[in-house]
Amino acid sequence: MVGQEKEVSLDSVQQLEAVEITDKMKKELETAMKMNVSVDEFLASSSSISFIKRGAYAWEPMLNNMSSERATITIDGMHVFGACTDKMDPVTSYVESNNLAAVNITSGQQGNANGSTVSGSVDLQRKTTPFSMQPKWEGAYQSGFELNNEQFYHQGNVAYANKKLVAQGSISYREAGNYTDGNGEEVNHSQFKKFNTSVGAAYKTGELSSVRVDAIFDVAKDVGYPALPMDLWLSRALITSATYKQLYEDGWVRAWDTKVYYNTVEHYMDDTTRPENLVHMDMPGWTTTYGLVSKAHVMKGKYHAEVQLNAYDNLSIAEMRMYPQDRSERTMFAYSWPWVTTRYAGLSINNSLEIAPKSELNFGGALGVNYNYAKYIDFNWIFHPGAPQEKTRWLPSVYANYTLKVNDFDFSVGSGYGHRAPSVSEGYGYYIYNSFDRYDYIGNPNLKNEVSYEVNASAGYQTEKVQVKAKVNYFYINNYIIGRILNMGSPMNYQSVGVKGYTSLDYATLFNFSLNTSYALTNNLHWEGTLTYARGMDEDQGNLPFIRPLSYQTSVHYKYKEFGFQTSFNGDLAQSNFSPEYGEDLTPAYSILNVSADYTFQLHNFKTVVQVGAENLFNQYYSTYADWGNIPRMGRNIFTSLQIKF
Amino acid sequence: MIHLVVAVCIGMVITACTLDKIDYEAELATAIPQAYEFEEVVLIESNGYRIEIEALNGTFYKGYNELHFTVTNMSNNQTVDDAAITWLPIRQLNTAAYSCPHSYNVLYDATNGYYSGYSVFDYESGLEGTWEFYMSVEINGELFTIQQGIEVMAQPNMNLNMTTFTGADGISYYIALVAPVSPSVAENDLVAGIYQYNQPEEPAGVFPDPSQFSFSEVQGATVLLDPRMPEASMGNHSSPNNEDLTQMTEGLYHGVVNYTMTGNWTLNFMFLDADGNLLAGTEVPTDFTPGIEGAKSELYIDILF
């Protein structure tokens, strides 16, 4: 057995966990309430992630209450860029919960390893099966049905491993109809269909080295966006990578992991399902990304470091095709992303030094260079005459964090400084319609880097029964990029009320607080509670948009023999600090009660779990501060699921 | 597992794009049918000289036509650069004769090696009459004249449209677009020729008496520009950073028009004389009115690209 353990540890993912250096949050991909969740639902259970929702599908994750441009969202360190100018396809929409093992969320500049960031990084980690001395097969099948939107899904995983070879695959299909809100009204255009499959194979090339290839293929079809005037006809993503890992038994460098990757995303929005629209429009978008991630783990005594080289080349294209009334006569055309190339290369080092058994210093830095090129810069010149077609930016980042443990208490303080480059939309977007505030957005190639100064602190108390952790962070962001009304512009999309240009505020500030507690009343009865609060303000002390009001969640888990019972109660207070300037209005408070029960048994020696539950049990009618167009959320939803592991 | 692999392989094979990207350069050319180059439109041999006139695409079109003349001595095949040339286009309708804005004296352009002139045909050949031109050429004191019928074709490129109007001062004016021949979604340099008809002060002499067919470039006027997309679905959409048309030293009027997307656009004009008096055109509403066709100025030119 011992020998087998050692063999298993040759898979470097296992090895890496041993030298985990940042305060990363790892969770199995299931929430406390629901054992089969979408990636979005899973992320929503983290206290540092909130979501902008435009429907039932593909929510935009917000880390530390900042929009997704300010985070680096990666899959195993790979950059994938959504192809929708309206951010309908965040990276998280191209993976499925059954091909992910964990999500690493790192707040602020500590998340600089995968690229320059302000709010932090979200790294979606794919499942990897370790090599095994004994050839073995593993698999799981999950299926379920959700009553509210008649969603059903089937998901399957298989993996084979021996001491030289690993092969694994997953497949998933979800299909949902329109959901019904708490008033029993059907929310039109909220249906979706999603197919996702992944394959991976690893081969051990030596005692301490292996090569691995992976691919994810994802297709979404007929996805409705009730908050938008158009829907998704089809999106597809192909995400591929090849990785070489080498471990070293001694020396400073203990592991070296190099990955080359390629991914391509296509996203076709149109309004063929909206005959009422005055003007018909297609908004296809494409992104193609090539990249390299190379990571070395350095270890010497009490010092650990992770050195990472990151490089990618991305081409983003988005078109706007308008049809006056007759769809066969397309007369109008413009690029909303005029063939924008982004090249990035960055080197980061994250160090961890154990000063004493009870205290640790984490510090690090990164330097990136970001290059943009717009092929059809003519489009941008209309609003920004003479803007440069090419732009190179240097993006530095540094941070330090000190952790101290005193008996059952732990404390940490930290600080960080970093730059980020404007996103493709912020720099080069052209008449990108935002249905939240109903403005057309114009990018500005001359925008300055956003510069973030952050401080953070945490305090925790942990015994066997009780865990309490409080975290705060504060960001002061210079040149904060946001859309401001451009008087000279005239809207292009008929639903819009005006034109906004991305501009830099002198500064903006963001404050985030979270309190997580858990208490084990007995071995079988657990209570958990979470409280989050955030405040975001611009230079004139006005409110920033999409800042979550005070929110809470409390849940109880009870286990009795093979049965499990869970109940959770969560909600937001009223969003009193809303921003009318950005199209927000006061969102009232809401609270939701969820319950579920599960039963575990053996079916032909296969571990089987069945679960039934209800979300929004009292069928509340509500929408949250981040729901576009105040689209109501789902009413009562009864769900059932079945999981078989073999 | 095998099935999975097969399924994924099939998936990868079909990942070729299902919706093709627009070929933007080709897209710009769809509303602009020809390749635009100067080609021969008239060739005359007379008095031992070969006279060649080139126009865009080898055709006379309604609207502004830049004309390049070359004169070659056929005895030694040498080009002649010191001829005095006059050019007078005439339109015959029933028994009456009309002309259109034109450069009566065609001057030699040493830089380019041809005589440069223009003609702004205001009608196509057909029901509105037939066109001919009268030319006089004087070389070393020897004068000869040429008269020849020509065909003026409809202008297929709306970006070279023209308009005529009578100003508040009672004068007939002509605005003809010269550039951009092939606009793009960009800042486009907008160039127009602006002309007026000069009423003859003397009774007509021997036909064709050039004093009866006198036109001149309007001097020092300003044309205020407000480009908009007229279709109801575009809700009176406009663009920023446009510049009004003012006269440059070569006589033509230059401004800037920004087209924010391809499609139908209307160039709404207000025409001010050198003293700033409004002679034609009306202000257009600037409101965004989806579903309502944009109101046009009384003075406008429609374009499409």
Give the CATH number for residue B122.
Answer: 2.60.40.10
Residue B94 within any structural domain of the chain: yes
On the question of pLDDT at A65 being above 80, the answer is yes
Residue B7 within any structural domain of the chain: no
**pLDDT of B25:** 81
What is the mean predicted confidence (pLDDT) over A96-118? 88
Per-residue model confidence as pLDDT tens digits over A144-170: 999 999 999 999 999 999 999 999 999
d(CA A29, CA B89): 82
Same domain, B77 and B147: yes
**pLDDT of A88:** 82
Lowest mean pLDDT among A437-441, A522-526, B135-139: A437-441
d(CA A155, CA A171): 6
**pLDDT of A613:** 92
Do the Cβ atoms of A429 and A443 come closer than 8 Å? Answer: yes
Lowest mean pLDDT among A1-15, A119-133, A346-360: A1-15
Per-residue model confidence as pLDDT tens digits over A394-441: 999 999 999 999 999 999 999 999 999 999 999 999 999 887 778 899
**pLDDT of A330:** 61
Per-residue model confidence as pLDDT tens digits over A160-215: 999 999 999 999 999 999 999 999 999 999 999 999 999 999 999 998 999 999 99
**pLDDT of A6:** 33
CA distance B154 to chain A (A): 22
| Residues A242-258: b if buried by 16+ CB within 10 A, e if exposed | ebebbbeeeeebbbbbe
Residue B83 within any structural domain of the chain: yes
Q: Residues 6 or more apart from A527 whose CB is under 8 A from it?
A: A518, A519, A520, A521, A554, A555, A556, A557
The residue in chain A having the minimum alpha-carbon distance to the alpha carbon of residue B293 is A324
Closest in A376, A489, A498 to B240, CB measured: A489
d(CA A66, CA A423): 14
On the question of pLDDT at B3 being above 80, the answer is no
Lowest mean pLDDT among A9-13, A90-94, A363-367, B76-80: A9-13
Residue B13 within any structural domain of the chain: no
- Of the residues A331, A444, A499, the best mutation for testing chain B's interface (the one with the most B CB atoms within 10 Å of its CB) is A331
Per-residue model confidence as pLDDT tens digits over A585-611: 899 999 999 999 999 999 888 999 999
A-B CB pairs within 8 A amount to 134
Same domain, B238 and B256: yes
The residue in chain A having the minimum alpha-carbon distance to the alpha carbon of residue B228 is A490
Per-residue model confidence as pLDDT tens digits over B244-279: 999 999 999 999 999 999 888 999 999 999 999 999
* φ, ψ (nearest 5 deg) of residue B123: -140, 155
- Of the residues B3, B5, B19, the best mutation for testing chain A's interface (the one with the most A CB atoms within 10 Å of its CB) is B19
Q: How many CA atoms lie within 13 A of A22 on its CB side?
A: 24
- Of the residues A494, A497, A499, A646, the best mutation for testing chain B's interface (the one with the most B CB atoms within 10 Å of its CB) is A494
**pLDDT of A603:** 86
For A184: left if phi > 0, alpha if psi spans -120 to 50, otherwise beta; the answer is left
pLDDT band of residue A307 (cuts 50, 70, 90) is very high
Q: Do B24 and A497 touch (CB under 8 A)?
A: no
**pLDDT of B5:** 45
Element (H, E) at B64: strand B63-73
Lowest mean pLDDT among A130-134, A288-292, B147-151: A130-134
Query: Considering only residues 227 to 266 of chain A, which have any Cβ-Cβ distance to chain B shorter than 8 Å?
Result: 234, 236, 238, 264, 266
Per-residue model confidence as pLDDT tens digits over A236-256: 999 999 999 999 988 899 999
- Which of B153, B188, B207 is the C-terminal boundary of a domain? B153
| Residues B143-174: b if buried by 16+ CB within 10 A, e if exposed | eeebeeebebeebebbbbbbbbbebeeeebbb
d(CA A333, CA A477): 37
CA distance B249 to chain A (A): 25
The residue in chain B having the minimum alpha-carbon distance to the alpha carbon of residue A442 is B260
Do the Cβ atoms of A172 and A197 come closer than 8 Å? Answer: yes
Closest in A234, A333, A489 to B22, CB measured: A333
Per-residue model confidence as pLDDT tens digits over A36-45: 666 666 666 6
pLDDT band of residue A7 (cuts 50, 70, 90) is very low
Q: Residues 6 or more apart from A487 whose CB is under 8 A from it?
A: none
CA distance B185 to chain A (A): 6
d(CA B258, CA A385): 10
Same domain, B145 and B163: no
Domain that residue B126 falls in: 38-153
- State how far the alpha carbon of A599 is from the alpha carbons of A41, A522, A557, A608, A612, in Å: 22, 20, 13, 8, 9
pLDDT band of residue A19 (cuts 50, 70, 90) is very low
On the question of pLDDT at A488 being above 80, the answer is no
ipTM exceeds 0.95, yes or no: no
On the question of pLDDT at A325 being above 70, the answer is no
pLDDT band of residue A98 (cuts 50, 70, 90) is confident
At B266, which CATH number?
Answer: 2.60.40
B contacts of A485 (beta carbons < 8 Å)? none
Residue B25 within any structural domain of the chain: no
Residue B255 within any structural domain of the chain: yes
Higher-confidence position of A99 and A637 = A637
- Which of B153, B187, B210 is the C-terminal boundary of a domain? B153
The residue in chain A having the minimum alpha-carbon distance to the alpha carbon of residue B233 is A279
B contacts of A376 (beta carbons < 8 Å)? 24, 185
Do the Cβ atoms of A425 and A375 come closer than 8 Å? Answer: no
Same domain, B91 and B185: no
Residues in chain B: 305
Residue B125 within any structural domain of the chain: yes
Same domain, B227 and B143: no
**pLDDT of A610:** 93
B contacts of A378 (beta carbons < 8 Å)? 184-187
Closest in A169, A199, A381 to B186, CB measured: A381
Same domain, B190 and B112: no
pLDDT band of residue B114 (cuts 50, 70, 90) is very high
**CB-based contact, A213 to chain B, within 8 Å:** no
Cis omega (within 30 of 0) on the bond before A385?
Answer: no
Do the Cβ atoms of B60 and B44 come closer than 8 Å? Answer: no
**pLDDT of A270:** 87
Q: Residues 6 or more apart from A625 whose CB is under 8 A from it?
A: A546, A547, A548, A549, A572, A575, A578, A584, A587
Per-residue model confidence as pLDDT tens digits over B62-97: 999 999 999 999 999 999 999 999 999 999 998 899
Same domain, B102 and B171: no
- State how far the alpha carbon of B279 is from the alpha carbons of A522, B175, B261, in Å: 91, 13, 31
- Which of B118, B153, B188 is the C-terminal boundary of a domain? B153
Do the Cβ atoms of A122 and A155 come closer than 8 Å? Answer: no
Residue where the block lists tokens 């979550």: A548
d(CA B267, CA B285): 13
- The two structure tokens encoding residue A436: 């939240």
B contacts of A486 (beta carbons < 8 Å)? 240
Q: Average per-residue pLDDT in chain A?
A: 88
Do the Cβ atoms of A32 and A606 come closer than 8 Å? Answer: no
pLDDT band of residue A17 (cuts 50, 70, 90) is very low
What is the mean predicted confidence (pLDDT) over A565-569? 93
Q: Do B21 and A317 touch (CB under 8 A)?
A: yes
**Considering its fold, how many domains does chain B have in total?**
2
pLDDT band of residue A92 (cuts 50, 70, 90) is confident
A contacts of B286 (beta carbons < 8 Å)? 490
Same domain, B196 and B99: no
Which domains, and CATH codes, for chain A?
A: 2-645 (2.40.170.20)
B contacts of A441 (beta carbons < 8 Å)? none
3-state helix, strand, coil in chain B (%, to 5): 10, 50, 40
Same domain, B113 and B191: no
Same domain, B194 and B142: no
**pLDDT of A595:** 93
Same domain, B174 and B281: yes
* φ, ψ (nearest 5 deg) of residue B74: -70, -20
DSSP symbol at B126: B
- The two structure tokens encoding residue A327: 């769809």
**pLDDT of A35:** 65
Q: Which of B239, B233, B261 is nearest to A319 (CA)?
A: B261
Same domain, B286 and B166: yes
Query: Considering only residues 332 to 361 of chain A, which have any Cβ-Cβ distance to chain B shorter than 8 Å?
Result: 332-335
Residue where the block lists tokens 């969202």: A73
Per-residue model confidence as pLDDT tens digits over A75-90: 999 999 999 988 888 8
Residue B26 within any structural domain of the chain: no
